[in-house]
Amino acid sequence: MEMRSLAPFTGPLPAIGLGTWEMEYDADPVAALKTGLELGMTHVDTAEMYGRGAVEEIVGKAIAGRRDEVFLTSKVLPSNASREGTLAACERSLKALRTDCLDLYLLHWPGRHPLEETLRAFDALCESGKIRAFGVSNFDAAELRAIVELAGPGRITCNQVLYHPGERTIETALLPAARELGVPLVAYSPFGHGDMLSSDSAGGRAMAEIARRRGVSVYQVALRFVLRHPDVLTIPKAATLAHVTDNAAAGSWELDESEIASLAKACPPPGRGPGIPML
């Protein structure tokens, strides 16, 4: 499994982790997560919003007895992101996840509460040992600059955003800004939605052709396109053991320049804005 880093961490993380949005609807989500962990996909991402806490409970069951192996991320809803609301939300997440500490805690998207309040709560949680680091999700370039200025350099660990071959808007402004600020990006929904992988679309046909030549799945091609940036990690969700295994296999190869050019032509930016939908 290819490894990458999230600032300010120096220890490596798997480039391909485990997303959990809508996992409460899957047939055996605990087994899928355990399989991913066994395959080295130890970056597990969840949120209090997912299943209204049900998914955090699923994750807690899956990582029981192996918490030390896992880099665990959860998120606070913006409606809860006042200072006291963030502290209370974190306690609920810790209880659901059956752990006493999160490796990373994110503000799920910008909301009505002042960022200064959320940051004060994050600082308090770090000081008490409840979280090790904090970051954001679904922030555009201007919003990311604003919170980095408030928090100080090197303190925003990542920005988690929507990114897949059919949605490349982040490449225009957000990715350059994140690089300038030293904030890695974590791509969610790297397979897109609807018919992105379908042979009815130019992008789907381009990915299918590369997959055929490579002897891999179109899902692996989509993951490798997202991961062509060295400062991007990704957290695909997989509902079945076969899909988890296939996702993990994408951590062992790379697209060549001609393949990247072919996909870039078939899937031109821009699309929707970064971080929509908010998962």
How high is the pLDDT of residue 109?
A: 98
Asked if 220 and 246 count as a contact pair (C-beta separation under 8 A), the reply is yes
Question: Is 50 considered catalytic here?
Answer: yes
* Cα 142 from Cα 25, distance rounded (Å): 35
Distance CA 259, CA 265 (A): 10
The first and second tokens of residue 27, run together, are: 């047939």
pTM of the model: 0.94
User: Rounded distance, CA 59 to CA 201, Å?
Assistant: 35
Mean pLDDT of 75-92: 98
Q: Give the contacts of 243 (CB within 8 A, at least 6 positions apart).
A: 32, 219
- pLDDT value of position 11: 74
Of the pLDDT bands very low, low, confident and very high (cuts 50, 70, 90), residue 9 is low
Query: 25, 50, 188, 219: which one is catalytic?
Result: 50
The pLDDT value given to residue 199: 76
